[in-house]
Amino acid sequence: MSKFVLSLVVFASIATLLVHSLKDYYWRDYDGETPDDAVLGGHDKNNKSIYIGQAYVQNEGLVVVQIDQDQKSVYAEMEGIQHLDTNIKILCGPPYLFYWMSSNITKLHTDLKEKQLVVGGHEDGAKRYFVGRIKCPDGVCIGKVLEQGGDGKSIFYGVDRNGEQLKADSYDVLVNDNSFVPNK
Ligand SMILES: *[C@@H]1O[C@H](CO)[C@@H](O)[C@H](O)[C@H]1NC(C)=O
Ligand SMILES: *[C@@H]1O[C@H](CO)[C@@H](O)[C@H](O)[C@H]1NC(C)=O
């Protein structure tokens, strides 16, 4: 085999490997029923499960939202606070692919160079949203972290169960840990 062909083959194999390893999670349609393979986002103060959702807001984009167990509707922070019960998806995949990592307004920029963060959505015509989590009076709250907002800063935005906006400079982000190889 010529060097050229060989490097093509090597390149193709690496590319295939990357495509497979980087994205072993998926978003399922959510209608109030939590699928068995939903990724647990944490527990609230009553130890009820919280999941990671994604809602489509027309003309605005795809926003990361919190799904509370057995609740069909969600709050979304997208040009103000929206209460939605359609066009919602829930993050699913094997739990070993994910972990939470502490980050903040300035650190996220560096984290992005080293880690594969779970992309939770995007603002139309703008940057990506990552999946964030903070401690809040409800227990934990899931929300969105904009890749680079004003001044290149990455801030967490979410909504608590009273429909109040949450904003934080320090938060956890959800990492897609593609280095993990499960025992077969
Ligand atoms: C929370 O609930 C889970 C089961 O959903 C249980 O295993 C765990 O012990 C509970 N934790 C507390 C602190 O009650
Ligand atoms: C962000 O995290 C870094 C590294 O842990 C820390 O040095 C920095 O002070 C933090 N910044 C804020 C605003 O919390």
pLDDT > 60? residue 118: yes
Q: What pLDDT, on the 0 to 100 scale, is given for residue 153?
A: 85
Q: What pLDDT, on the 0 to 100 scale, is given for residue 22?
A: 52
pLDDT tens digit string along 150-181? 677 899 999 999 999 999 999 999 999 877 66
Cα–Cα dist 155/68, whole Å: 23
pLDDT tens digit string along 45-66? 999 999 999 999 998 999 999 9
Cα–Cα dist 111/69, whole Å: 30
Any idea which ligand is nearest the CA of 40? 1
Q: Which atom of ligand 2 is nearest to the CA of 170?
A: 14
Establish whether residue 110 lines the binding site of ligand 2, counting it when its CB lies within 6 angstroms of any ligand atom: no
Residue (of 93, 47, 88, 39) closest to 65 by Cα position: 88
Nearest CA to ligand 2 atom 4: 107
pLDDT > 50? residue 125: yes
Q: How far is CA 151 from CA 73, 75, 93, 132, 155, in A?
A: 33, 26, 34, 19, 11
How many angstroms does the Cα of residue 104 sit away from the middle of ligand 2? Answer: 6
In this structure, are residues 139 and 165 in contact, taking their beta carbons and an 8 Å threshold?
no
Residue of 148 and 154 predicted with greater confidence = 154
pLDDT tens digit string along 98-108? 999 999 999 99
Percent of the chain beyond pLDDT 90? 69
Nearest CA to ligand 2 atom 10: 104
Average pLDDT, the chain: 87
How many angstroms does the Cα of residue 47 sit away from the middle of ligand 1? Answer: 6
Residue of 9 and 140 predicted with greater confidence = 140
How many angstroms does the Cα of residue 168 sit away from the middle of ligand 2? Answer: 13
pTM: 0.84
How many angstroms does the Cα of residue 140 sit away from the middle of ligand 1? Answer: 15
In this structure, are residues 75 and 48 in contact, taking their beta carbons and an 8 Å threshold?
no
Establish whether residue 28 lines the binding site of ligand 2, counting it when its CB lies within 6 angstroms of any ligand atom: no
How many angstroms does the Cα of residue 150 sit away from the middle of ligand 2? Answer: 18
Q: Which residues contact 164 (CB under 8 A, 6 or more apart)?
A: none
Establish whether residue 104 lines the binding site of ligand 2, counting it when its CB lies within 6 angstroms of any ligand atom: yes
Percent of the chain beyond pLDDT 70? 83
Q: What pLDDT, on the 0 to 100 scale, is given for residue 11?
A: 56
85: Cα separation from own chain's centroid: 19
Spell out the SS3 assignment of the chain.
CCHHHHHHHHHHHHHHHHHHHHCCCEEEECCCCCCCCECEEEECCCCCEEEEEEEEECCCEEEEEEEECCCCCEEEECCCEEEECCCEEEEECCHHHEEEEEEECCCHHHHHHHCCECEEEEECCCCEEEEEEEEECCEEEEEEEECCCHHHCCCEEEECCCCCEEEECEEEEEEECCCCCCCC
Establish whether residue 105 lines the binding site of ligand 2, counting it when its CB lies within 6 angstroms of any ligand atom: yes
pLDDT tens digit string along 7-16? 655 555 555 5
Q: What pLDDT, on the 0 to 100 scale, is given for residue 184?
A: 47
